[in-house]
Each structure stands twice: as C-alpha cells, then as structure tokens.
Amino acid sequence: MALAVLRSRALAGLAAPEVTVEVHLANGLPSFNLVGLPDTEVKEARDRVRAAIQNSRFEFPAKRLTVNLAPADLPKESGRFDLPIALGILVASGQIRGETLDQHEFAGELSLSGELRPVRGALAMALASLDGGRAFVLPRASAAEATLAPRADLRPADTLLAVCAHLNGDTPLPTASTETTLPPRSYPDLAEVKGQGPAKRALEVAAAGGHSLLMSGPPGSGKSMLASRLPGILPPMTEEESVASAAIHSVAGGFDAANFGHRPYVAPHHSASAPALVGGGGTPRPGEISLAHNGVLFLDELPEFDRRVLESLREPLETGSIRIARAARREEFPARFQLVAAMNPCPCGFLGHASGKCRCTPDQVARYRGKLSGPLLDRIDLMVEVPAVDEAELAGRNGGESSATVRERVMAARQRQIARQGKANAHLTPDEVDQHCLPDCAGAQLLKRAMGQLSLSARAYHRILRVARTIADLAATPHITGSHVAEAIQYRRGLAD
C-alpha cells in the first residue's frame, strides 16, 4: 500500500492529544516532506529516520514521500514522532505488515542505529492512551515511568527492528506490568533540629492544615533545616496525588520513577525568573510551582527574589493553578503547593541578635522588608520567628520529637478534616469557613478585637479561622476555643508588624 496511517501522541500542557501520522508514497523525484506544524526537532526526524531505516537493514524508498501530522493546527515538538514516521514508511512501502496498526499507538525517538531513546511525557501519553483503548509502544527506557499509569497496555521496545517484528507477528513485544509498588519514604528527621520549639510547632500546624509558612531569623538559625523536614511530617500522598504529581514531572522531563509517591520538595534559587517559577516558554511548560504540586515549594531568602516573580505567586496561592497565556497557546497547570519561605530580619541578617552585630539603618531595614508586598504577605497563613540557637541547646543530645511522632498527629488531624469537609483546612472556601470554622464566644470576641487593632483584611480574617480550625484539629477538639484563636492570631501578628 502507498498510504499508512498510525496513531501517536503530542503534548499540550498536561494533556496528550492524539496525533494521526499519515505517510504517503508517490511517484516523482525523491523527496521527504513533513507537514502538520512540526517544530525544528520534528523536522530533523527526516535524517534520523532515514539512517535508522537503512541501519536496520530495510530499504529507504526513493520516491516522493509526504508525512502529515494531524491535526494541522496542533504544534508538534520533540523526537517522539520518529518511530511512527519510520513505521509508516516501512508499511507504506510494503516492507512490513500493517494490519494491526489501528490496535497500537507509537512514540519514540530513533538513534541513527535504529535504537529507541526515551521521550518526555511518557506517563502523560500512557494515561491518555487509556481513552483510545490501544496498546502503547514506547522505548524501554521510558517504560518505568509509563507503568505508573494504571491499566495501561504498554509494549516497551529497544529497537525499530523489535517493533517491526511485533507488527509482523514474528516476535510479539512483552506487556509491561503496571502494578506500582511505592518505594519507602525517606526524609530528613525533625529530631535533628536542635531547639526551635515554637518554629517546630508552627511547622506542625502548617503540615496539619496545608498552610503557608514564613520563617524569619538570622543566618544559621535552622530555617532551611526546618523547611526540608516538612515533607517528612506531611500525610502520605494518595494514589491520585502521586499520579498527578508524576504526570507534571513527566511533562517537564527528567522524571525519576523512584520518586513516585514522595512529596515533591522544590527549592528554586532566588535568581529564578518569573517563567522559570510559574512556567512558560513558546511551548508552555510547567514551572517550579507546578513541579511542587501536592508538595512543598521552599523559597529561601524571600526578599532577594525579584518582586515581579513574587507577585506572580499571588494567583496560584489562591486558586491552586496557574494559567499561562501566549499569543498562540494557552495552557493551565495545577499548582496546589504548600509555600514555605525564609528570610532574614534585615539585609545583614542580625537585627535583634544578642551579639549586636547588626549595623543596618532603619531605612535599609524598611527597604528590605518592603520588597514583600502587602497582598503577598496577606496570603501567608503563618509567620514565626526563628531565633539563633544557644550553645546549650546545640550541645544537647536530644533534638526533640522525631518526624514519625509528629507525622502521626498531623495524619490524625488531617483525617478529621477529610472526614468533616473532604479537604485540608487551608483549601476551605469562605462559605465553608463560615460552616466549619465558627469559634466560641471567647474566640469570636478575641478575633473581633484583633481585626480592629491589627487592621486585618477579610482575607486575613478567614485565614486566622482556618489556622484556628487546624489547631483545634491537632488538639482533637470539635470546637474552636479562644486559646485556638489566640495562637492563630499570634502567628498572624508577625505579618502585620
């Protein structure tokens, strides 16, 4: 036959829309034309496919060759279409059989020798292939990632020859198992942090309710250590959360299947640009906040980030997603991350330190803190001071409770939230706050006075109630009392100073 039609997958955000690969051979001067909005990587497939076919001991047809990637208005990128293009040429030229093409989808980059190389987004494509009901043929190097898609019919292969033998019915490709065994979780232990009792308490409250946290203190006081131990006290990820986070990392590239089921911990450098943090590019890809989906985003030296970069966090902190708009593309990525930030109290870091080393002027301190806008700070639930640790605490052998002990309390509090409202307290809507976070009379009076004295916004009012609800859940108390509200206000006072 002079025409072959195969199925593959493109990437559009987190989706993997189906792409029809049509290969047509016609008489005329030898040529190789690729149409269907291919980018440079796809156009270069012509040379890779030609060499792979010849080195696999097939004949490359000396005819007018046209490859169409449909739909035509969907941009096609990367080398994932090498394999279906090569197979289409071989089927159209009659060198291999094509009766079972409709039962398969293909994706894979070809080396010049005909070996299959891994492709980005294997998990997203495997999940999408479930809707088509076809077997998905992909490089073996991408199979470990794709097997995380439940019930997917995966056929990993090493070479173009192996796929051809499968289509000819000579040597069927084995089916990869999609039974996922979660590796054991391994996180730094909270007991390694000496002292810092109030900061550990704030970290526990943040973990129990999914709240954002800002820590302020001098250099070396343990802010980064505390942040790195937050994933270890968070509840285990559900299978749905694990697959969602893995799909984002798969689309971004470089996903390691060994990290499946582990809470993401993303800590970008303060020199990161806005597109790097929230995502972007000509073909939009997820940024750091999406890579931290269902995990922790740690921003160290918060005031050192560009102000425009920090302001870009305001929308995802509220909505849990980020919408990236370009002239020709619009993509939406999930970004339900837990923000943990750290900063120094002043440019030199030693304001209020017992040593008296700080020499910053009031204007310098004001400019430093002024890099953080009021609307951004208003979206942070907890702020805690992390003072320098004295020598006696550092010399002590006991660092306090382990992560396992704290995690048990956090899990119990989170289970109460799921049973009551089906979500973490940090994600409650204003209507749900009115329903589930009503304080008693003493708590209501205390909150009323705090609203007036601290000039808190309506957003801050709801966030205090959410934090108070989490504190009550940690105490296994069905009602929010005045003491719970007082602790929540205390965490909020630092934002108003």
H/E element holding 253?
none
Q: Where in the chain is the domain with CATH 3.40.50.300?
A: 190-411
Give the Cα-Cα-Cα angle 197, 201, 204 (nearest 5 degrees). 140
Q: Where in the chain is the domain with CATH 1.10.8?
A: 428-497
Predicted local distance difference test score (pLDDT) of residue 227: 95
Determine the Cα–Cα distance for residues 382 and 397; give it in Å rounded to an integer.
29
Predicted local distance difference test score (pLDDT) of residue 495: 47
Compute the radius of gyration of the chain from its Cα atoms.
Answer: 28
pLDDT digits (tens, 9 = 90+) for 457-494: 888 999 999 999 999 999 999 999 999 999 999 998 75
Q: For the chain (length 497 residues), average pLDDT per consecutive 10?
A: 90 91 94 92 94 96 95 90 97 94 96 95 92 92 89 94 95 82 76 88 96 93 93 92 91 83 93 90 87 95 92 91 82 93 91 82 90 90 89 73 93 96 94 93 92 87 95 94 94 63
Please tell me the CATH superfamily of domain 190-411, with its number. Answer: P-loop containing nucleotide triphosphate hydrolases (3.40.50.300)
- The CATH class of the 3-167 domain is alpha beta
Residues 6+ apart with CB under 8 A from 422: none
pLDDT digits (tens, 9 = 90+) for 326-335: 777 788 899 9
Predicted local distance difference test score (pLDDT) of residue 311: 92
Predicted local distance difference test score (pLDDT) of residue 173: 95
DSSP E strands: which ranges in 56-153?
64-70, 104-106, 109-110, 116-117, 135-139
Q: What is the total residue count of the chain? A: 497
Predicted local distance difference test score (pLDDT) of residue 494: 59
Q: Residue holding tokens 């156009």?
A: 43
Predicted local distance difference test score (pLDDT) of residue 225: 93
Give the residue from 81, 180, 80, 181 showing the smallest Cα distance to 121: 80
Predicted local distance difference test score (pLDDT) of residue 177: 77
- Four-way CATH pick for 428-497: 3.10.450, 2.60.40, 2.40.160, 1.10.8: 1.10.8
